[in-house]
Amino acid sequence: MSAENAVQQYIRENGQRFVEELSELLRIPSISAESAHAPDMLRCAEWLCDALLRSGADRAEVMSTDGNPVVYAEKTADPAAPTVLVYGHYDVMPVDPAGEWTNGPFDPVIREGRIWARGANDDKGQSYMHLKAMEAMLATGTLPCNLKFMLEGEEEIGSASLGKWCTEHQELLKADVILVSDTSLLGWKTPSITCGLRGLCYMEIEVTGPNKELHSGLYGGAVANPANVLARLIAALTDEEGRITIPHFYDTVRELTPAEREAFGKAPFCEAAYRKGLGIRSTQGETGYTTMERTGIRPSLDVNGIWSGYTGEGTKTVIPSKACAKISMRLVPDQDYRQIARLFEEYMQALAPAGVSVNVRALHGGYPYLTPTDLPAYRAAAAAVEETFGKEPLPYYSGGSIPIISTFEKVLGLKSVLLGFGLDQDAIHSPNESYALENFYRGIDTIARFHRHFAAILKSHA
Amino acid sequence: MSAENAVQQYIRENGQRFVEELSELLRIPSISAESAHAPDMLRCAEWLCDALLRSGADRAEVMSTDGNPVVYAEKTADPAAPTVLVYGHYDVMPVDPAGEWTNGPFDPVIREGRIWARGANDDKGQSYMHLKAMEAMLATGTLPCNLKFMLEGEEEIGSASLGKWCTEHQELLKADVILVSDTSLLGWKTPSITCGLRGLCYMEIEVTGPNKELHSGLYGGAVANPANVLARLIAALTDEEGRITIPHFYDTVRELTPAEREAFGKAPFCEAAYRKGLGIRSTQGETGYTTMERTGIRPSLDVNGIWSGYTGEGTKTVIPSKACAKISMRLVPDQDYRQIARLFEEYMQALAPAGVSVNVRALHGGYPYLTPTDLPAYRAAAAAVEETFGKEPLPYYSGGSIPIISTFEKVLGLKSVLLGFGLDQDAIHSPNESYALENFYRGIDTIARFHRHFAAILKSHA
């Protein structure tokens, strides 16, 4: 029997037990955002530690961080084989609005071929596939790589402690690549692998004019109005072509190769349905790029909030003393959010008229991330997906940000492959989160195939 | 004894009683903005009605309106003489912050040659001078004009009922001019007459984009952001020269004659002190005009309030669904606020990109007003002021708006002369409002002289 068939048979024979184990994991309400659940975080970490040992790990331990613990484990197959570091998270989002759940969010049920609970997909369900893939490969004598696991408890609250913990455990975390299942497929019939994440540069700007609110009749026309000035500053950040006009903003933007762009362009997209879903007559963005490209591979700039002066009912004839805005930019490789923050501030200061003072603060930042599609691990993942889904996966560039992935690259020097099996309908972060058992089983199969392809590709390169 | 000397002597001999009477008026807490004071409004109107009769009016009555009553009175001197309609108001502003008053706001005291109370100047003190001028002229047999009085109780809340009341009483209100004491002098040694008031066009604009708040990572770059669009719209309302760019905005702006502009330019103004008082490094406005001209004789445009998206602490990565702003324009003769509102809306709609919808509402409007300095009543006022202050008054163009003054012109066809005797230090609308007794006495003398000059000028024209 081939390794593939052996693993598939093992999944068929043990799948129901896998789901029962996952249900047990899902019963632990490990909500990282709510301090009342601190004991549940530790309980969940300990449960996973046991599960990793039961699944065949040589070693597993709950390791403390400045925040919630990290579950670390490893399984050495062959010191000469490549090492894959699996990253996942055991913390989950809050359950509000609680009243909208059909079953209790921590009382998992199987219905319509799906498992329903908070974390069913994100990320307990997706992480647990990696434990069961290890078990299946060990049971069938087909584990071709060494495995390490790093399961954190703070992903939903920004992975605040993990960067430092990685820095302190670089030796322990040595590997050839990081494998992550925490993303979605474009569709069941449109398999995809997320290979781009945008970075973030989040700024706040405050324009101060006169030292008090002024009567707009007595002073209007003679004094720079901070709200008018702020509007001009914001308007000056983009041009009619939808490009960002901060000098040197695009200097470090890496363009996709024509082949990468062509592959991404194959992702199915219905502009009319997109517009209808948002209730807009027209999309709008940078000239020369499609809607998917505008969110996936190009930087963007958005006002997230703005406030100044009188905002109540009716009229008040004032010139405000201050005007503020929160403005964030999504970044793409190789933009550095710290440099972009500096360029933003310099540009704003240069444009500010003499009648006001401008204060700019950087509130938050994260690096963009890109998995090159010629990376051996990407090719291994693509080959595995093509086998299990019968179709070559599309490279997908997400507009969102997972800052910890770029932190891994900075701190550990490791690329990540985002091999996720979620679907839009799984409603992660929402009431009635679920995960199809078919995805769960096929994911385990795909993960096992990834390891075989990855080991083979690296061997052929050696 | 000349008429002038007779009136001056009468004021000297009776001035203390005048102040005692004014104190009685100031004890009535006629705050129009606070409904709890509704009975005080009527009591105040009745008190004034009696005071007008005691001061020599042939007829005085409290007349109902849709809101607080108007006190109407008249004194016929000679059917062939010109008629002057005195306008004033008996309602006062609220007293907040009440804790900052040295004496009770409705417990007037005389201290440092001033009377301290809410309304001491605005406008009980200034209105009451007209009653006492009538009394002095009657007592000395020197009343050269017929007098009418129209004292309203809603000036501080926008004179909501007076326009309609005037329309319904056009016959009763027939006169040659309206005389108003509800403004200030540039200074005790810089007498001035307010001859310009700006109009107002107050708009609200709402920009709607997607039908819900969107994740700025997943959608940023592909969708028109209503807050960014609003900033562009606002920025497009003015240019680098400080001019308003709404097409046809300036079409009906009347330029002052070089002589009028020169006379206005004589008003003392210290740019350094102005900047220091506002805490700004630089003034800013329309190229080619001084600071006084920018607020006095030129239109202006100000954002009074703006709001959209997330305005709390820290970061939230959203594309807002809506963005709103309140934007008002101060207008000058002969701009029509209804036409300006239309031009504003047309311009905003024309600039709005396809990805958003724009809703524009006119919230409030008022016409600008101008007293030509060659008007007989202005010349009479200037001559009177020159006699009592020893200096020719400067024409002053205020940036503020008193919409009821332009309503008088529309409804009654009458020009107004704004012969006010307040000073900046009187702190109207603030705690510890006061009025110098010297201003009160000199105002009465000046008003009496106005009537003599006015009658003489009209006679010489006849």
pLDDT digits (tens, 9 = 90+) for A291-321: 999 999 999 999 999 999 999 988 888 999 9
Whether residue B290 lies inside any domain: the answer is no
Residue-level pLDDT at A314:
86
pLDDT of residue A169 exceeding 80, the answer is yes
The shortest C-alpha distance from A149 to chain B (Å) reads: 28
* Range scoring the smallest mean pLDDT among A47-51, A146-150, A400-404, B53-57: A400-404
Q: Which of residues 75 through 134 in chain B touch A, CB cutoff 8 A?
A: none
Whether residue B430 lies inside any domain: the answer is yes
CB contacts, 8 Å: B225 with chain A = 302-303
Q: Which of B21, B40, B74, B91 is catalytic?
A: B91
Is there a single domain that holds both residue A59 and residue A105?
yes
Distance CA B459, CA B462 (A): 5
Angle between helices A226-235 and B226-235 (to 10 degrees): 110
Q: Does A322 touch chain B (CB under 8 A)?
A: no
Residue-level pLDDT at B206:
98
- When scoring A249, A278, A335 by the number of chain B Cβ atoms within 10 A, the one with the most, hence best to mutate, is A278
Residue-level pLDDT at B158:
84
Is there a single domain that holds both residue B165 and residue B210?
no
Whether residue B248 lies inside any domain: the answer is yes
Residue-level pLDDT at A360:
98
* Range scoring the smallest mean pLDDT among B10-19, B307-316, B320-329: B307-316
Boundary (domain end) residue, out of A365, A382, A403: A365
Residue-level pLDDT at A424:
87
Residue-level pLDDT at B402:
84
Is there a single domain that holds both residue B108 and residue B148?
yes
Q: Which of residues 385 through 404 in chain A touch B, CB cutoff 8 A?
A: 398-401
Is there a single domain that holds both residue B12 and residue B60?
yes
pLDDT band at A105 (very low <50, low <70, confident <90, very high): very high
Residue-level pLDDT at B461:
81
Partner-chain contact A400 B218, CB within 8 Å: yes
The shortest C-alpha distance from B306 to chain A (Å) reads: 5
Residue-level pLDDT at A184:
93
Q: Could you tell me which chain B residue has the CA closest to the CA of A322?
A: B305
Is there a single domain that holds both residue B95 and residue B212?
no
* Range scoring the smallest mean pLDDT among A95-99, A167-171, B142-146, B390-394: A95-99
Is there a single domain that holds both residue A395 and residue A263?
no
In percent, the amount of chain A with pLDDT more than 90 equals 90
User: ipTM value of the model?
Assistant: 0.88
Average pLDDT over residues A363-392: 95
Whether residue B108 lies inside any domain: the answer is yes
Structural domain count of chain B: 2
Is there a single domain that holds both residue B106 and residue B203?
no
Is there a single domain that holds both residue B351 and residue B395?
no
Whether residue B260 lies inside any domain: the answer is no
Residue-level pLDDT at A403:
83
Domain membership of residue A338 as a residue range: 199-250+299-365
Residue-level pLDDT at B353:
96
Residue-level pLDDT at A157:
87
The shortest C-alpha distance from B318 to chain A (Å) reads: 5
Q: Could you tell me which chain B residue has the CA closest to the CA of A312?
A: B305
Residue-level pLDDT at A462:
73
Is there a single domain that holds both residue B351 and residue B407?
no
- pLDDT single digits (tens) B186-227: 999 999 999 999 999 999 999 999 999 898 998 999 999 999
Average pLDDT over residues A409-426: 95
Whether residue B325 lies inside any domain: the answer is yes
Q: Which two tokens stand for residue B357?
A: 């919808």
Residue-level pLDDT at B316:
87
- When scoring B271, B280, B283, B304 by the number of chain A Cβ atoms within 10 A, the one with the most, hence best to mutate, is B304
Residue-level pLDDT at B96:
84
Q: Average model confidence (pLDDT) for chain A?
A: 96
Whether residue B186 lies inside any domain: the answer is yes
Is there a single domain that holds both residue B13 and residue B160?
yes
CB contacts, 8 Å: B203 with chain A = none
Residue-level pLDDT at B462:
73
8 A C-beta contact, residue A307 and residue B307: yes
- pLDDT single digits (tens) A205-247: 999 999 998 999 989 999 999 999 999 999 999 999 999 999 9
Q: What is the CATH number of the domain that holds A345?
A: 3.30.70.360
Is there a single domain that holds both residue A327 and residue A222?
yes
HEC profile for chain A? CCHHHHHHHHHHHHHHHHHHHHHHHHCCCCECCCHHHHHHHHHHHHHHHHHHHHCCCCEEEEECCCCCCEEEEEECCCCCCCEEEEEEECCECCCCCHHHCCCCCCCCEEECCEEECCCCCCCHHHHHHHHHHHHHHHHCCCCCCEEEEEEECCHHHCCCCHHHHHHHCCCCCCCCEEEECCCECCECCECEEEEEECEEEEEEEEEECCCCCEEHHHHCCCCCCHHHHHHHHHHCCECCCCCECCCCCCCCCCCCCHHHHHHHCCCCCCHHHHHHHHCCCCCCCCCCCCHHHHHHCCCEEEEEEEEEECCCCCCCCEECCEEEEEEEEEECCCCCHHHHHHHHHHHHHHHCCCCCEEEEEEEEEECCEECCCCCHHHHHHHHHHHHHHCCCCEEEECCCCCHHHHHHHHHHCCCEEECCCECHHHCCCCCCCEEEHHHHHHHHHHHHHHHHHHHHHHHHHC
Q: Which of residues 206 through 245 in chain A touch B, CB cutoff 8 A?
A: 209-212, 214-225, 227-228, 230-232, 234-238, 242
Residue-level pLDDT at A438:
97
Is there a single domain that holds both residue A187 and residue A44?
yes
In percent, the amount of chain B with pLDDT more than 70 equals 100
pLDDT of residue B401 exceeding 90, the answer is no
In percent, the amount of chain B with pLDDT more than 90 equals 89
Whether residue B222 lies inside any domain: the answer is yes
Q: Which of residues 180 through 209 in chain A touch B, CB cutoff 8 A?
A: 198, 200, 202, 209
